[in-house]
Amino acid sequence: MDTSSRNWRWARKAQLLVASALLLLQNSLVISAEASSVHIVYMGDKIYQNPQTTKRYHHKILSSLLGSKEAAKNSILYSYKHGFSGFAARLTKYQAEAIAKFPGVVSVIPNGIHKLHTTRSWDFIGIHHSTSKTSFSGSNLGEGTIIGVIDTGIWPESPSFNDEAMGQIPSRWKGVCQGGEHFNSSNCNKKIIGARWFMKGITDEAKKLLQGNNTSEYLSARDAVGHGTHTASTAAGYFVGNANYRGLASGLARGGAPLAHLAIYKACWDFPIGDCTDADILKAFDKAIHDGVDVLTVSLGFAIPLYSYIDQRDAIAIGSFHATAKGITVVCSAGNSGPLSQTVTNTAPWIITVGSTTIDRAFPATITLGNNRTVWGQSIDTGKHNLGSVGLTYSERIALDPSDNLAKDCQSGSLNATMAAGKIVLCFSLSDQQDIVSASLTVKEAGGVGLVYAQYHEDGLDQCGLFPCIKVDYEVGTQILTYVRRSRFPTASLSFPKTVIGKWISPRVASFSSRGPSSMSPTVLKPDIAAPGVDILAAFPPKGTSKSSGFAFLSGTSMSCPHVAGIAALIKSKHPTWSPAAIRSALVTTGESVGVNTLKLHLYI
């Protein structure tokens, strides 16, 4: 081979190397310019028993993708190393597609957002607990079990979390009481034995809101929303006498398993972009498995359409699968998209999915019309009003612009303030975009002194807080409207609500409770079971007001879920060797008909 030929070949190789380098540089510039987002690299069961070895394995995989240990360290958010294997990291679309092809990677999941599925109930379903300390030894109150709560945190000062008469913390417990804003180790006790919080999965924009002055959220396990406090006390709250909400539903409050311990996993936050991310939820599951909980209550989920189990993008299904495999009973809410069929969520076969029912308690309030006729509605507004008989009008009659329909359901700014001043206003709900609270704001701004809100039957009551608000159905609303149209000077007076128990004996599925069959697996019957979830009184943060009783009414399958979790803890306490499948079987296949209208639990606990 002559010299000129060799030189030509070396020159050609040099050109190819330069071209390859330029191509790689171009690709790297494109990748670096591409926005990264949180992805979950799910790897199934652990291949290493040592969590630190698993963590190093995750870093090694990420380093090989990103080119350096430093880049991997900056990218990774969580290493899932206790209950299953995987990690959450900030990746570009290109990087996510590349790592999905790595050996051992089951799937790469974009970081999705889950929504929260926002006392008499225990007596109603037949779970009776004595408050006498002398009878504790002969009763099953869930002693020795640990209920994990994946939610918005907890308000530890609530009397529902008093550790009086609580047993010693189980020796198997491996959890911690993680400190943070307005929360330290002293906030844990023998009732709240552990608390952790997770927020690495939420977006940078949301973090700025949380860390700024635009939110009341706490960067700790402390609950700013109230949802987690409510569900935790429903599942395992201690006895609290004379619990009530502004005088309504007064009585003895307690959870289903009053002597069970609580482990808190705050993965849901008070910000407008979303509630809970997949990355944080999976880390909560991972830590709960490590810590040693017996039962998990998870009152959150996706909306439809559902992800396929094969698709592997349902973080709750993945986390609950590995928890169940470790002997932990996982209870989830069914969703609040009823009464439409095929709207049930959390439908994985290994999850106990809970729908919502009513109980035998109501809060009736009277509307006395100027013709001395009395009609009934419901309310939880107990403010110090003394209206007597005042003017009554229909919102459409006092529309600011009669050419539109905004005044019919009292949309914001739709009422004539001169004509509304000093009167009770009747509004009719026309869409899902308006509710009694929003309508009350409109009436208040226009100078009204009370609201009667007519709507299609929907279970659950909301407090207006501004002035008297009474919810009625369309039939009663039409009767009131007929009086207004026929009377020259219509008037009305509104009474305070009162608590009535026992009039409505039979429970029925709540209007909002998501219905089956499952849109993913119609042959797998879901929900598995239903429990009280309408106007449930439970612990709630006082939120800086001296008038708060520390209890509030909430409705939703979120409230039903901890009822079943509490009962699961009772069964586990009595039968510690029973598997999640055995506990689920006991729940869904046993019951006892009492009388004509009631069906009460009759469990072997």
Task: Cite the active site residues.
Answer: 151, 227, 558
φ/ψ (deg, to 5) at 92:
-80, 170
Q: How far apart are CA 84 and CA 478, in angstroms?
A: 58
Spatial CB neighbours of 83, under 8 Å, sequence gap ≥ 6: 285, 286, 288, 289, 290, 319, 322, 323, 326
φ/ψ (deg, to 5) at 87:
-155, 160
The angle subtended at Cα 233 by Cα 171 and Cα 269, nearest 5°, is 95
Q: How far apart are CA 430 and CA 296, in angstroms?
A: 39
Element (H, E) at 299: none
What letter does residue 112 receive in the DSSP assignment?
-
Residue that is written with structure tokens 């369309």 in the block: 474
Q: Assess contact for 326 and 83: CB atoms under 8 A.
A: yes
What letter does residue 339 receive in the DSSP assignment?
T
**DSSP 3-state percent helix, strand, coil across the chain (nearest 5):** 30, 25, 45
Spatial CB neighbours of 220, under 8 Å, sequence gap ≥ 6: 153, 178, 179, 180, 181, 182, 183, 197, 266
Q: Assess contact for 66 and 24: CB atoms under 8 A.
A: no
Q: Assess contact for 532 and 358: CB atoms under 8 A.
A: yes
Helical packing angle, 227-236 and 557-574, nearest 10°: 30
Q: Assess contact for 254 and 240: CB atoms under 8 A.
A: yes
Which region holds residue 481: left if phi is over 0, alpha if psi is between -120 and 50, else beta?
A: alpha
